[in-house]
């Protein structure tokens, strides 16, 4: 199993709207891709910004490529991202993991 981790931040006043937007864009697209196992969103407020972490779990790199394209290590972006003043990490991280989906370290 492969975990794909993306991080981005938005101004705190746009956090609620952005979360809804993320659910209908990135989360929905990932879940609709064959080979996706699950998707989790974690968020945390800090210094006037809301940090969003989207962690998706996949059965193979081929499935990730179906979702993200050949440059699968580049963040997937959407046309309306700018409306939320999103600052996205340009590179996503991939981790090969064994067994079940681990408990989130972001849950307090």
The tens digit of pLDDT for each residue in 7-40 reads 999 999 999 999 999 999 999 999 999 999 999 9
Please report, for the chain, the start and end positions of each structural domain, with discontinuous segments joined by +: 2-96
Residue 102: which pLDDT band, with cuts at 50, 70 and 90?
A: low
- pTM score of the predicted model: 0.88
* Ramachandran sector of residue 59 (left: φ over 0; alpha: ψ -120 to 50; beta: rest): alpha
Evaluate if residue 98 carries a pLDDT over 90: no
Please answer whether residues 42 and 72 qualify as being in contact, where contact means their C-beta atoms are separated by less than 8 angstroms: no
Class of domain 2-96: alpha beta
- Bridge partners (DSSP) of residue 58 are 2, 36
Average pLDDT over every residue of 40-52: 96
Evaluate if residue 107 carries a pLDDT over 70: no
Q: Which residues contact 58 (CB under 8 A, 6 or more apart)?
A: 1, 2, 3, 4, 35, 36, 37, 64, 67
Cα–Cα separations (whole angstroms), residue 58 to 38, 51, 55 = 7, 23, 10
Q: Report residue 55: phi and psi, to 5°.
A: -115, 120
């Amino acid at each position: 199993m492969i975990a794909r981790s993306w991080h981005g931040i938005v101004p705190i006043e746009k956090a609620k709207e952005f979360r809804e937007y993320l659910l209908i864009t990135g989360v929905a697209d990932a879940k609709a891709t064959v080979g996706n196992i699950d998707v989790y969103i974690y968020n945390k407020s800090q210094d006037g910004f809301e940090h969003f972490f989207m962690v998706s779990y996949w059965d193979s790199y081929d499935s990730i490529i179906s979702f993200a394209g050949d440059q699968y290590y580049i963040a997937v972006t959407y046309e309306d991202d700018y409306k939320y003043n999103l600052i996205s990490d340009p590179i996503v991280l991939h981790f090969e993991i064994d067994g079940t989906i681990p408990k989130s370290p972001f849950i307090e």
